[in-house]
Structure 1
Amino acid sequence: MKISHNHGLRSAAFTLAEVLVTLGIIGVVSAMTVPTLMQNYQRQSYVTQLHKVYNELTQAFLQFKNDRNAIWLSEAGHVRHQDMMPFMKQYFKVVQDCGKTSTPCFASSYKNLSGSTFELTTKDEDATYYGVLASGASFGIKSDGIDTGTNYTDDFLYRIAIDVNGQKGPNIYGRDLFILYIFSDGVVDAYRVNPDCRENNNCTLGANPSEHREKLYESCASSTGNTWYDGCFAKILNDNWQMNY
């Protein structure tokens, strides 16, 4: 007696219509999820590049103080914007020096998170020095121009703009462009997160450094120009080096 298995095979097989429906569903799901995954990956790559520059700056200022047996950068003779380019060239590999002009080290224009366009310039343009690191990151650094002797409570010693991938896109503040602040103890943080804020919770915008940074982020998220764009880096610090915005 010959046993036929055709009935079982027919039961287990998919029809062409079922296969097409399944592939269609997979395609729709992929179309919905892949762009988000790629976007998250790209954003995190910007954060990784930013973290690298942050670590290098932190180590460089620590080494600068140790080389001079100093506690404060100002004590070690680091108080003027003229001091910064020699410092950068001593402790970093600077492959391009743009002097006091942002281009071509930086892109000619940037956008903020709301899509408004602005130029990377300040009223103190003549006190800012621009360059490009070997990693491809661009930097523009300036002093606050004030030497009050109050290292503990100064708003900041230097402000530094970092474009993690130079002139390459997207050239959006909060994505690949960030503003960092350097304080006289050599710590790199957000605006006004000075030693007094960090150690004694005497912060101007909150009860502690975390609240202060979160308040700064509001300016980043709602900015319509380049007047206040300090808070995106603050948010990344608060969120443990994640771009959750």
Structure 2
Amino acid sequence: MDIHNYNGVVKMKKAFTLAEVLVTLGIIGVVAAMTMPTLINDQRNKALEAQFNTAHSMISQVLTQMGSENIDMTKMYCGASRRDSTENIFIRDFAKYFKVIKSEYGSTADLTKLGYKNSYFNQSAPGHNNFNPDSHDNGAIILSNGMMIASSGCWWQDGGTGIDFIVDTNGTKGPNKFGYDLFYFQFGNDNKLYPDAGDYMFATTDAKKVACCNFEKANTCTVPQDTGVACAQFALTNTWPHDEKKKYWDTLP
């Protein structure tokens, strides 16, 4: 304690003891340790959301332009004569509408060909669970903004024909995980962009949607390695698959 005399008036100024300072710093440290991970996670999710919206907008515009030039793109790229074709014609034509800095039109099942550290992507569930390499095995392009688009090729079902492709909204940066920076899209014979629903847009039960965008457990989709395939629709509506009252981009772990 410091004692000062000002014009005959004695004033006492109390100083903090070392113990008090240490306790205060300890409290600040505990609070910071509790809040910093949340702040970092929130900042990351905002960046991921912005990248997702940019990717969705860009691709929607390109498909609209392509669709105006072709009456039915699914017939053009996925007609009966192309059912057994191994040529990645769609991704080659798709690339013409973007500023592409790297392309690979052969097999792209091994992601290291595109500059990724690992040869596979991860499912939406916790941990490192390999996602189905069929999702990116028909050619890929990397854009000038770092985004990667890979073709999954054509599919044929009783309900119709479509083309699937995946988008890595920030390229090789990571986390390279479905539901975070990786999303599955498709377009059908109306030339419009759709989020993949896990069983394609012709069979979309709620149970299958959640099973194919599971952030709690791996290998729960109809095709186990496709867990995470249906996350784009939840990201678009900003609805958490495990609790519709929560927002997707606020809840992403």
Q: Normalising TM by the smaller chain, what interval?
A: 0.7 to 0.9
Following superposition, the deviation at residue 204 of structure 1 comes to 3.3
TM-score of the superposed pair, with normalisation by structure 1: 0.73
Identity of aligned residues (%): 22
- Partner of 1:242, secondary structure, is helix
Query: What stretches of structure 1 move > 6 A for 4+ residues in a row?
Result: none
* Pair 1:122-2:169 in alignment: no
Contact 1:213 1:238 in 2 (8 A): no
Aligned to 1:86: 92
Question: Which ranges of structure 1 fall in alignment gaps of 5 or more residues?
Answer: 198-202
Q: How many residues are aligned here?
A: 220
Q: How far apart in 2 are the matches of 1:33 and 1:123?
A: 37
Amino acid at match of 2:7: K
Match of 1:165 among 167, 170, 173: 170
Match of 1:242 among 226, 243, 249: 249
Match of 1:30 among 29, 32, 56: 32
Summarize deviations over 1:175-223 as a string: whole Å, max 9, x none: 22222222333123232574xx7xxxxx6304xxxx87546434x6432
Contact 1:170 1:176 in 2 (8 A): yes
Amino acid at match of 1:223: A
Q: How far apart in 2 are the matches of 1:145 and 1:59?
A: 23
Q: How far apart in 1 are the matches of 2:210 and 2:226?
A: 18
Indicate the larger mover: 80-89 or 46-55: 80-89
Q: How far apart in 1 are the matches of 2:250 and 2:35?
A: 18
Match of 1:223 among 215, 218, 222: 218
TM-score of the superposed pair, with normalisation by structure 2: 0.71
Question: Which ranges of structure 2 fall in alignment gaps of 5 or more residues?
Answer: 1-5, 80-86, 240-247
Aligned to 1:200: none
Summarize deviations over 1:4-30 as a string: whole Å, max 9, x none: 2423x33xx544432322221111110
Matches within 5 A, 1:61-72: 61-68=63-70, 70=71, 72=72
Following superposition, the deviation at residue 34 of structure 1 comes to 0.7
- Partner of 2:172, secondary structure, is coil
Aligned to 2:205: 205
- Partner of 1:118, secondary structure, is coil
Q: How far apart in 1 are the matches of 2:156 and 2:200?
A: 17
